[in-house]
Amino acid sequence: MDTAVSSYVVVSHLTVDPEGAGALEDAFRQRLGEVDGVGGFQRLEVWRDTASPSGYAMVSWWDSETNFRAYMGSQAHRRSHARIPRQPHAPHATALHRYEVIAR
């Protein structure tokens, strides 16, 4: 278990056509190592929804909202999306939730 203390968690909910799920999962596996060196980043996980074959949650832990926002506006973030499948099976973000950790 990661012993770092996180203060900011971002959960992005995605849906993708079942035909594109394999390519999306491959892209996520490749992406997991790409953010390791980003300032303030602590951990990224991708979860598949067991109740829906087209649903995923991408969960990332950051030390601050400032560092998360800096990464979201960076070239590194844009490059990380290059491997995500394009049409017709592109994932669609259905929700983006942001949380502050108050206990862990």
Classify burial at 35, counting beta carbons within 10 Å of its beta carbon; exposed 0-12, middle 13-18, buried 19 or more: middle
Q: Domain for residue 49, yes or no?
A: yes
Total-model pTM:
0.70
Residue 2 lies in a domain: no
Residue 72 lies in a domain: yes
CATH code of the domain containing 62 = 3.30.70.100
What pLDDT sits at residue 62? 92
Looking at the domain assignment, is residue 25 inside a domain? yes
> By the 8 A CB rule, do 36 and 91 touch?
no
Residue 3: inside a domain? no
> Whole domain around residue 73: which residue ranges?
8-100
* Lookup: tokens for 4: 């770092």
Across the chain, the runs of DSSP E, i.e. the strands, are 8-15, 41-48, 55-62, 92-100
- Per-residue pLDDT of the chain (104 residues), as tens digits, is 455 566 899 998 888 887 778 877 887 777 777 777 788 888 888 888 899 878 888 888 999 999 989 988 888 777 776 666 565 666 667 778 888 877 66
The count of structural domains within the chain is 1
Contact 6, 42 (CB under 8 A): yes
Cis amide linkage into residue 18, ω under 30° from 0? no
Instruction: Examine residue 1 and state whether it is found in any structural domain, yes or no.
Output: no
The pLDDT of residue 1 is 45
Nearest in space to 63 (alpha carbons), one of 41, 37, 32, 43: 41
